[in-house]
Structure 1
Amino acid sequence: MRHGEFRHSRLVQVYDAECVWGPDDDFFRAVVDETPAARVLDLGCGTGRLTVALAAAGHTVTGVDPAAASLAAARRRPSGDRVTWIEGTSALLPDRSFDVAVLTSHVAQFFVDDDEWARTLDDLQRTLVPGGRLVFDARDPADRRWERWNPVDSRRSIGLPDGGEVEAWTEVAGVRDGAVSFIHHYHFADGEALLSSATLRFRSEAQLRDSLAAAGFTVEAIHGGWHREPIGQGDGELLVIAHVGGLAPVS
């Protein structure tokens, strides 16, 4: 199953149990909060962990995701009714409607094809106001994170809200031209075993900068970790903050 963590109701529960609030959420919330009472787009919002937190912080938030099962879980969250949820892609976004757009949890890497990534950036540039900010994370290919995606290093037990546990691990299926394909394995206590496959694109700092410039964005900063460390000295990340055009960011 492709992207099972977002599309299969049982795996959505596992995803939520494993992916709890962390320093990545702190980073994104801090950047968004630099624009008070912002109109925020969370593209690829998933089950809405950060989305609802931004709404609770006083922002007007729209969460967009193509996965119905993830959005169903997002709507059930406390304060989920404070968010506008849209099932779909960036193609549905209205013009000049948001002050800040975020893509979290490495959503940017799911756009494997360069043309698809360029279209997405064009949509984001179109939906942001002049000077509006775009914030996203991508793993730094120099960190070679995929080399740790193997049945030994990635094996873990995930505790579920009902007290059960799921044994999980990841294995790489192929690496080619910056695209890494992999399979997540999930074994449930009742004997059910589920697989979820995906492919992520690892773009370099230079490739990200070039694609953003082509879409009309100006890069403000690219950090290497969740505490804004320099590239190569943080968490193996490329944390991008950019804004539309050459104008100063919205404040």
Structure 2
Amino acid sequence: MPDAIFAHHRLAPLYDAFDGPRDDLTPYLALADDLDARSIVDIGCGTGALAILLAESGRGVVAVDPASASLEVAKSKAGAHRITWLHGDATTLPPAAADLALMTGNVAQVFLTDEAWSQTLHSIHSALRPEGHLVFETRRPDRRAWEDWAAAAPITIDIPGIGRVEERLELIAVELPYVSFRHTYTFRSDGTAITSDSTLRFRPRGELESTLAAHGFTVRDVRQAPDRPEREFVFIAKRGN
């Protein structure tokens, strides 16, 4: 079940405004060039920022997300007609059709159980052509990102067509490898407050490498996110035959 921040009909339209400029996505265009990827699947595409950027560069893009409210926002954007949108998860993807599978943001960390992570990797392996690539980013546990979240001050933004909305972030629990937190959005127009609870799993690098190998992937490189040096791992893994 997707978190309310992505699935609630009043919260999904707020996501882009609070997320701000997506400078973190531009490097994936260059990476797609480096990997000669012409067909791409964007897993956990959310409101479609990356999928649209990739499609604008002339690539074939399939974008999948379990939150229908986020997909509706994505489909309303300019350029959305170039993309095949799927409501679901990695198991929804067509087999052996993609050169590259991407999971950006916190997508790789929402799979809380070993079973869910294993099923996702198995499905991605099936969706890639032989020697296709999986690229995903995930936060480094040793950087303790949740400490920054605990110190975050509320933010209020005036969003066109919606009005002023306050976002408040609260750390709920740290029980590693799990970290739980709550977003509360208060709409100044009518005083409505809507909460969205989330939990992420912080897997160490060694665990990720071993699970990738167990599902038929070879890790080619582990990089830093250019816009967040030393804060994240960016895995580049190749599918075996």
In which range does the TM-score fall when normalised by the shorter chain?
Answer: over 0.9
| Aligned counterpart, 1:22 | 22
In the alignment, the residues of structure 2 paired with residue 100 and residue 17 of structure 1 have an alpha-carbon distance, to the nearest angstrom, of 28
Provide closer, same or farther for how the CA distance between residues 22 and 2 of structure 1 changes in structure 2, counting only shifts above 3 A: closer
Tell me the residue number matched to 1:182. 181
The 2-side partners of 1:112 and 1:132 are apart by 25
Q: Does 1:156 align with 2:151?
A: no
The CA distance in 1 between the partners of 2:238 and 2:153, in whole Å, is: 36
The alpha carbon displacement at 1:130 in A equals: 1.0
TM (norm. structure 2) is: 0.93
Q: Does 1:241 align with 2:233?
A: no
Aligned to 1:45: 45
CA contact (8 A) 1:21 1:49 kept: no
Unaligned runs of 5+ in 2: none
Q: State how far apart, in whole Å, the 2-side matches of 1:54 and 1:225 are.
A: 18
Q: TM-score, normalised by structure 1?
A: 0.90
Structure 2 distance, partners of 1:110, 1:167, is 25
Return the offset for 1:189.
Answer: 1.1
Which residue of structure 2 lines up, in the alignment, with residue 169 of structure 1?
168
Structure 1 CA distance, aligned partners of 2:131 and 2:153?
40
| Same amino acid, percent of matched pairs | 39
Q: Secondary structure at the match of 1:226?
A: coil
Deviates more, 1:94-103 or 1:155-164: 155-164
Structure 1 segments of 4 or more deviating over 6 A?
none
Q: CA deviation at 1:3?
A: 1.0
Give secondary structure in 2 for the equivalent of 1:159: strand
Q: How many residues align?
A: 240
Describe the superposition over 1:26-80 as per-residue Cα deviations: whole angstroms up to 9, x where unpaired: 1222212324461100011011011011011010000011111111111111010
2:121 is matched with which residue? 121
CA root-mean-square deviation: 1.9
Structure-to-structure mapping, 1:221-240, within 5 angstroms: 221-226=221-226, 234-240=229-235
CA deviation string 1:74-103 (max 9, x = no partner): 111101010000101111222211000001
Q: Secondary structure at the match of 2:211?
A: helix
